[in-house]
A and B are shown apart, each in its own frame.
Chain A
Amino acid sequence: MTPLLAVDDLHLWYDADGGKVVRAVDGVSFTLEQRGEALGIVGESGSGKSSLALALMRMLPKNVARFDGAVRLAGRELTPLSDDQFRREIRWQRIAMVFQGAMSVLNPVLRIGEQIAEPLLLERRYDKARARARVRDLLERVGLPAGFASRYPHELSGGQRQRIGIATALALDPDVLILDEPTSALDVSVQAQIMNLLKDLKEDPGISMLFITHDIGLASDLCDRIAVTYAGEQMEVGPAERVLVAPRHPYSQLLLASLPRLHSDVPPRTMPGDPPDLTAIPAGCRFHPRCPYAWEDCLNHPPGIPLPDGGHARCWLNDPVVAGDRYQIQLRPTEAARD
């Protein structure tokens, strides 16, 4: 079966001061197989998550140093499309996005209804009357009364504004919805409400999602599969239920162990070392300066080593030939994860 979205070896690099290059997306590959599937993109701040989203939306800043790779949507190759074609046919129509900090993205002087209608009126997709009706439907779908159309952003709470961001992204019935940290500025209760809404949309109408977050717990609550991102690369991709209890990459393992657990007294562990500098990515395995298991072979760049569950892990410990005696020894489920 043709996957709904297939991304292969995607790169997005930026020019930075002093002739340096930021390798924000550095050879990322993944698929969304079918409608209603959600993939969690999990990583620390600065690991390139937002850049991946912008690359898929083709919303690129001026200082792009490299942008290539293959993106196929329902079998259709998107890379050859001109910017104009992409804007008319793909962005917002087929792939839509809720931005990180969507709360501040809303235009303070525009009524909510006008903001949601914006993508509808663009390219004369809808006339005014149909757009108005559509706005009412969208508000209802995100759980807000129709009267909200005439309100201004400052009259809304953080959670309500985030619902508006989602309604706007849903306006043209996209196949793929990208959510960049949609709840990170919200408290637990409002976060739970937004997550409920996303769970509903995933069921019906079956929207596929790329859910970007630094919180692996949150990702696992919504997503079928999880892709753990580090320094522009995906370190591990696999079914959420397996990644949570038996991570096959040391970075995923440490990420899980760093979370304070609600019902366990095992203290959370600190992540060793410093976050990577994307202008000076270490040679070989880019996690090696922080990895407690690193050995000489880790100075070679590991490929994504396939795992039986269809996922992969970019760590030599998963290659029996290279790892030898080390093969999988270190990768028992963490204590914290087992609790």
Chain B
Amino acid sequence: MGNEECRKTGEFCLDPRTVYLAPDFVEACVQNNRLFVKGNEAVAMAALEAGCRYYFGYPITPQSDIPEFLSRELPKLDGEFIQAESEVASINMLLGASATGVRAMTSSSSPGISLKQEGISYMAGSELPGVIVNISRSGPGLGGIDASQADYFQSVKGGGHGGYRIVVLAPASVQEMYDLTMLAFDLADLYRMPAMVLADSVIGQMKEAVVPHPRPAVDLPAKEWAVQGKGGGEQRIVKSLYLGDGELEAHNWKLYAKYEQLRGKEVRWEEFLADDADLVVTAFGSVSRIAKTAIMQAREEGLKVGLLRPITLFPFPAQAYARITGRCKKVLDIELNTGQMIEDVRLSVTKDTEVFFYGRPPGAGSLPTPEELLEQIRKHY
């Protein structure tokens, strides 16, 4: 089984020449070690490099490139690809595989992620790692397939029952699709909890250059909790049911302590031209990219505008907001929804900071342009 193989770090498991290429780019660009791939493909590539050999999914637009890529490549690596009968089944397959200690992944888009919430809650309760990718689309309900950030609440606040959190990473480039997918596996293993990569069809469908890298050497704890058959040793149990007096409360405090640890150690964010800014724009994922161009245009007009982009949505980089708004008193929050992250932004800025909001509820034709965001910047500057 490819499992031992995939524990190796510092070494590629895949020959980029044979693997990374979309069919129409057979001899693609291994130029300067920069591969020109779609965001979704970068996720799949990184999962393989991270040692993930188990994928469970169900078709849904706009993430199907991920299962399509993996259905082609996993068999070559002795891995398992299962197209499950539903998202409910696929998240529970992930739960089962993760419980045995292997690295495993599922991916979907918003309606499918809703169905996975039960399983995610059980994984959180059972302290199981596992990576969930959401190439989110517009809702509610069937909604549409356009890029959306309307799943912020669902992802960040614990989308299922029981008051848990999961790691949520928000890539804004194809390179980050690669890097953060890899990081998601490490954080999931380090903290024994599910980790989500939250992107949308802009980041998933666009192509950029990626510098692939092998799995970094991270000191990961041994998975002594993983079920593998007693083999003469102690019995191991993976569960979330705690009925004894005080047991469940203690369990919840233990989970809470991990969330606090994450808040202390794992926050990541990007600042762009923020040091001297009089107005700081804040946005994540695809919208942060659109905002960047608007900010560059604003700078050309002499407006001192910068960007604060959370990379980890949970843990939220509250400290970055506190520090920046110690000096800059105006924040413009931009989202592809009617206002979700803004609640965390408001809780994180200094008291006398004004927080403005500009949002577009997702749907066909509602992706804002840099020119449109520049208007907003001028208005609030």
The answer to whether A and B come from one shared complex is: no
